[in-house]
Amino acid sequence: MAGGRCGPLLTTLLVASVVALAATEGPDQAVLPAEQSRVQPMTASNWTLVMEGEWMLKFYAPWCPSCQQTDSEWETFAKNGETLQISVGKVDVIQEPGLSGRFFVTTLPAFFHAKDGIFRRYRGPGIFEDLQNYILEKKWQSVEPLTGWKSPASLTMSGMAGLFSISGKIWHLHNYFTVTLGIPAWCSYVFFVIATLLFGLLMGLILVIISECFYVPLPRNLSEHSEQNQKSEEAHRAEQLQDAEEEKDDSNEEENKDSLVDDEEEKEDLGDEDEAEEEEEEDNLPGGMDEEKSEVSDQGPLREGSMTQEEVEPDEAEEDVTEQPHSPDTEVAEDALRQRKSQNASKGP
């Protein structure tokens, strides 16, 4: 009987002690369920969800202080997403380098607005009030959209996403070599250099094999015919060059002939002018001679009178009279005529 009574007492004591211990711990030690985040993480597999409906995306990095300052504002904005009728997402650029390349993210944090597949860059402070006004007042309509090759859905940005994803994998592999395995950094760089060279050689070999598979050699007849065509074209070009040179020579000869004819005509014109001048001078000479003779005849009686008055001998007077008609002016004129006649005679033949 005593043992049956002690069992219930022990159980009640144990329950009471447990309750007392829970009471002493206080409300601060109580474990509360974590509140679920309304921000949807975006990856390379589900990013196409933003192509439908209205979205706001945030690109961040865990080590970025500016990104950490806007985390609470972004969570508050996501909680009000239902009232604003908008979905809110975030992208970790460390885990998803391909998406950062697709959107060409160069600064952090980076915000994007998407409306039915049309993307625009939000450049505000990232606080809740500004984000709410951006959606309610539709300020995104005044922002130029990312169209053409800049659109994240374009083929160009898809290639950019592939390059960024490859660079991210290389970076993770480098960290694995240097941090996890403890390999020196220069060894990792040498490994990547050798791997790049081998990859380039392999791709070149693949391209050569593909070209050999799809290359169809031409038959000999066609090759010979093509060679003959090339030779005939070269000969035709050489003939054209020779014809052009001959035409140039002919044109030069014609120009020289024309210049010679012009020179001869000029010489003939000069000869005609000289002859006209000589005729004029010959016409003028008899008049000059007559004048000189009249002067001499006038001076004769004067000289005779003077000789009688001065009692000069007759012989000297006769010598003066006979020497007077041959004056030096007439001799100079006759010499000039003779020289011009000799010049015309030499030019004539």
* Catalytic sites, residue numbers: 64, 67
Candidates 13, 133, 121, 115; CA nearest to 59 is 121
Quote the CA–CA distance of 39 and 27 in Å, as a whole number.
Answer: 30
Contact 281, 337 (CB under 8 A): yes
Quote the CA–CA distance of 236 and 114 in Å, as a whole number.
Answer: 65
Q: Which two tokens stand for residue 64?
A: 């970025």
Q: How far is CA 177 from CA 97, 132, 182, in A?
A: 20, 45, 6
Candidates 159, 158, 166, 74; CA nearest to 112 is 74
DSSP labels for 96-114? -HHHHHHTT--SSSEEEEE
Q: How far is CA 6 from CA 9, 10, 12, 22, 187, in A?
A: 5, 6, 10, 25, 75
Contact 93, 67 (CB under 8 A): no
Asked if omega into 109 is within 30° of 0 (cis), the reply is yes
Alpha carbon of residue 247 to chain centroid? 41
One-letter amino acid identity for 58? K
Candidates 87, 93, 112; CA nearest to 43 is 93
**CB-based contacts of 275, cutoff 8 Å, min separation 6:** 344
Alpha carbon of residue 307 to chain centroid? 110
